[in-house]
């Protein structure tokens, strides 16, 4: 069931709302970026379900990898460093998308987090739709 989650950075400069459903699944990935950032994300069913409430001036974007044809943007708070969301438009991912970082959600319950299915993506081999061969280190 889609519900509105509220999220923020550690220092409180950035706040957002995201309409999503943890029960629909989450993703962790073994690619270099996700391993270093310890990403765990929930893709929103509708990218329009993301609303930045405050802090646009505090946002920074991680420099992109993958070249000019790779439209993916990883946002974080420039003041405290909290990872917040990823957005982009990638044909292989079904077009336009927004994924929020689970750790930035303020009101996701422990029960929701425990029950949330995780897709362990094999991004290290550019095969995000297949399961990563090993996940214990992620």
pLDDT tens digits, one per residue of 65-99: 555 566 889 999 999 999 999 999 988 778 999 99
Q: Of 81, 94, 97, which Cα lies nearest the Cα of 14?
A: 81
Alpha carbons 110 and 104: distance in angstroms, whole number: 14
Domain 3-123, classified CATH 2.170.150.70, yes or no: yes
The structure tokens 């917040």 sit at 84
Instruction: Determine the 3-state secondary structure of 131 from DSSP.
Output: strand
Beta bridge partners of 131: 121
Alpha carbons 21 and 31: distance in angstroms, whole number: 24
Alpha carbons 73 and 9: distance in angstroms, whole number: 17
Using an 8 Å Cβ cutoff, are 86 and 98 in contact?
yes
Mean pLDDT of the chain: 92
Q: Examine the pLDDT at 35 and tell me if it is beyond 90.
A: no
Per cent of the chain over pLDDT 70 is 95
């Amino acid at each position: 069931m889609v519900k509105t989650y509220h999220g923020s950075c550690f220092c409180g400069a950035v706040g957002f709302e995201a309409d999503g459903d943890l029960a629909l699944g989450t993703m962790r990935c073994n690619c270099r970026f996700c391993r270093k950032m310890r990403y765990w994300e929930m893709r929103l069913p509708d990218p329009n379900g993301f609303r930045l409430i405050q802090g646009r001036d505090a946002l920074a974007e991680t420099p992109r990898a993958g070249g000019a044809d790779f439209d993916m943007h990883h946002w974080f708070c420039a003041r405290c460093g909290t990872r917040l969301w990823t957005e982009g438009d990638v044909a292989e991912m079904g077009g336009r998308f927004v994924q929020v970082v689970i750790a930035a959600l303020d009101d996701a319950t422990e029960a929701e987090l425990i029950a949330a299915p995780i897709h362990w993506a094999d991004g290290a081999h550019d095969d995000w739709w297949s399961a990563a061969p090993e996940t214990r280190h992620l």
